[in-house]
């Protein structure tokens, strides 16, 4: 039996708009309003997950989803960089920022490396592929990026080549531990259709 998984990126936040490493911030007004407009546009599912952060829980609620918290879908741990913009980090720690962007094993901020994040997402996907159900997961751009890179068996360096917009929808299907992408970079619309970017 095939497992069907829909990943939804949380709505917009001040940190996303500022290109900042996020803390546990709420959705901004636009993010809340945009998510609320999509109520009823998502497929029916057997299970709904959300990351533990406020912005993912608020997005799930605004979408009209009753979601359970899944710790594996938590945001990447950006350590001491959390709450700072990338420009601030690049100005003060240029070598560290450059290392982080080019070496997926690096964690100069003292948090989680991209490789560690990808391993966590790969473990979650492996578990999900055994469940044989339809599910939605409301999570973070980094988690969606990692999932795409993992299932495509792409090099870890390609993580930064995937753009994930607020409220974007990525659909995948899995069977026997193998996943396929069925839609990437789409947005749900009122009336249940899907628009591509």
Asked if the model's pLDDT at residue 147 lies above 50, the reply is: yes
pLDDT digits (tens, 9 = 90+) for 106-142: 999 999 999 999 999 999 999 888 877 899 999 999 9
pLDDT for position 196: 36
Do the domain assignments include residue 109? no
pLDDT at 117: 98
Domain extent at residue 30: 3-77+114-196
Residue 194 has what pLDDT?
44
In a domain, 108, yes or no: no
Token digits of residue 194:
């899907």
Give the separation between CA 138 and CA 11, rounded to whole angstroms: 10
Strand partners of residue 178: 175
| Tally: H helices and E strands in the chain | 7, 7
Q: Is 63:48 a contact under the CB 8 Å cutoff?
A: no
Does the CA dihedral 84-88-90-96 come out positive or negative? negative
Q: Is residue 174 part of a domain?
A: yes
Could you tell me the pLDDT band of residue 5, with boundaries at 50, 70 and 90?
very high
Domain membership flag for residue 87: no
Asked if residue 100 is part of any domain, the answer here is no
Rg (CA), the chain: 16
Q: Is 182 among the domain residues? A: yes
So what's the pLDDT on residue 75?
Answer: 98
Domain CATH code at residue 27: 3.40.50.1240
Burial code (b: 16+ CB inside 10 Å, e: under 16) for 134-146 equals bbbbbbbbbbbbb
- pTM for the predicted model, two decimal places: 0.92
Nearest-angstrom CA–CA distance, 52 and 172: 22
In a domain, 94, yes or no: no
Residue 91 domain-assigned (yes or no):
no
Q: Which tens digit of pLDDT belongs to each residue from 14-56?
A: 999 999 999 999 999 999 999 999 888 888 899 999 999 999 9
Number of structural domains found in the chain? 1
């Amino acid at each position: 039996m095939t497992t069907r998984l829909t990943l939804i990126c949380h709505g917009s936040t001040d940190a996303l708009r500022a290109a900042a490493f996020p803390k546990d911030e709420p959705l901004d007004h636009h993010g809340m309003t945009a998510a609320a407009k999509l109520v009823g546009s998502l497929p029916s599912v057997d299970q709904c997950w959300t990351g533990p952060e406020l912005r993912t829980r608020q997005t799930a609620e605004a979408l009209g989803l009753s979601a359970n918290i899944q710790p594996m879908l938590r945001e990447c741990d950006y350590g001491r960089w959390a709450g700072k913009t990338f420009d601030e980090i690049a100005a003060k720690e240029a070598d560290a920022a450059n290392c982080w962007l080019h070496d997926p094993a690096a964690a100069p901020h003292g948090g989680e490396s991209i490789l560690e994040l990808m391993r966590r997402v790969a473990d979650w996907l492996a578990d999900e592929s055994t469940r044989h159900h339809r599910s939605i997961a409301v999570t973070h751009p980094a988690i969606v990026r990692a999932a795409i890179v993992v299932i495509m068996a792409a090099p870890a360096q390609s993580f930064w080549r995937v753009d994930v917009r607020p409220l974007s929808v990525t659909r995948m299907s899995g069977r026997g531990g193998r996943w396929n992408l069925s839609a990437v970079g789409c947005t749900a619309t009122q009336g249940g259709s899907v628009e591509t970017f």
